[in-house]
Amino acid sequence: MGFTFAYRLILVVAVASVLGISLANKDWGSPNSNYTGWGWGWGWGSSKSNHTGQGFNNHPLNETQGSKKIIVGGSENWHFGFNYSNWAVNNAPFYFNDTLVFKYDPPSNTTFPHSVYLFPDRWSYLNCDLKRAKMVANTTEGGGDGFEFVLKRWTPYYFACGERNGFHCKVGSMRFMVMPLFRWHY
């Protein structure tokens, strides 16, 4: 009987957490209000731009209902020397079925090669353990329209460049993580 209560409590907490996270981007203003940002904390309500090209205060929720194609790094694309962790924080939130587009030049005499690896967990990501990671895009797949990766599960996604035996990952710039959220339609 003790396990039954504990399992019910865990289920209630898990459902409440998912619902709370999913409703975090809900517009609580009146229907005639232009206010769509909370104006506090972690970039929300800031003047920084998100992946729609608008600041969070100008982020009408009815325009974010569908899935988006988001170019990783924005106009910087996927290259060495850019901080993708900061980019991910400044462009959050990401949602289920959003598509991350990794654009990078194929290897040549003037460019370093890049790839995209997906790590199975935070530990592998923090240690840039490529033996446990899966290559999802090789050095040539980022050319042209880029390599597309759809966020299909409610799980953290840990990405990094695996070239130069993980050097691009290890110096900390060519890696980032995202956690897609539920998108509620009202």
Contact criterion met (CB below 8 Å) for 167 and 173? no
Share of the chain above pLDDT 90, in %: 53
Predicted local distance difference test score (pLDDT) of residue 172: 74
Check: CB of residue 146 under 8 Å from CB of residue 114.
no
**pLDDT for position 129:** 95
The residue with greater pLDDT, 132 or 111, is 132
Q: What is the CATH number of the domain that holds 152?
A: 2.60.40.420
Domain range enclosing 98: 65-185
pTM of model > 0.85 = no
- pLDDT of 34-60, one tens digit each? 334 443 334 333 344 444 444 444 444
* Res 15 pLDDT > 60: no
- 88 pLDDT exceeds 80? yes
Contact predicate 60/71, CB 8 Å: no
Torsion of CA 140, 164, 116, 63, to 10 degrees: -100
Higher pLDDT, 180 or 66: 180
Q: Tally the domains of the chain.
A: 1
Between CA 164 and CA 59 the distance in angstroms is 39
Query: What's the whole-number average pLDDT of the chain?
Result: 77
Task: Please indicate, yes or no, if residue 42 is contained in any of the structural domains.
Answer: no
State residue 10's pLDDT score. Answer: 64
Tens-place pLDDT, residues 61-84: 444 468 899 999 999 999 999 999
Specify if 170 maps to a domain: yes
Q: Tell whether 49 is covered by a domain.
A: no
For residue 24, being part of any structural domain is answered with no
Q: E strand or H helix at 135, and its extent?
A: strand 134-137
